[in-house]
Homo-oligomer: A and B are copies of this chain.
């Protein structure tokens, strides 16, 4: 069942506003078909939106995210082009790797703060 979506259905599902969705279209990151004047979104459109929001959560700009989405097609081109493309992917992965390290450090820090909290809590409860 290849159902479709209205703009407010998508907005509700992803907890964003319709303005945001229209904004993404205005900038060229989405292009739903029209039925009369109304926008009709396919599952593919919905996937694009999900990818955009995922990139956003990771601190990527819309342009950066759009670049990555473009990469998702099947790679084509001659040897030179393919090699350049692989290099670009490598850069992106390096960037994401750094994010992952940042994330781990931050989560470790939070963990140790929480540990301290539990110790403090145990002391408070023990001295009553």
Q: Which residues of A contact B (CB under 8 A)?
A: 54-60, 68, 71-72, 74-79, 82-83, 85-86, 89-90, 92-93, 96-100, 102-103, 105-107, 109-111, 113-114, 116-118, 120-121, 124-125
Instruction: Determine how many copies of this chain the complex contains.
Output: 2
CB pair A79 B113 closer than 8 Å:
no
Known contacts A59-B59, A125-B79: does B106 contact A54 (CB below 8 Å)? yes
Known contacts A59-B57, A79-B121, A83-B121: does B116 contact A106 (CB below 8 Å)? no
CB neighbours of A124 from chain B (8 A): 78-79, 82
CB neighbours of A74 from chain B (8 A): 116, 120
Known contacts A98-B57, A102-B57: does B116 contact A75 (CB below 8 Å)? yes
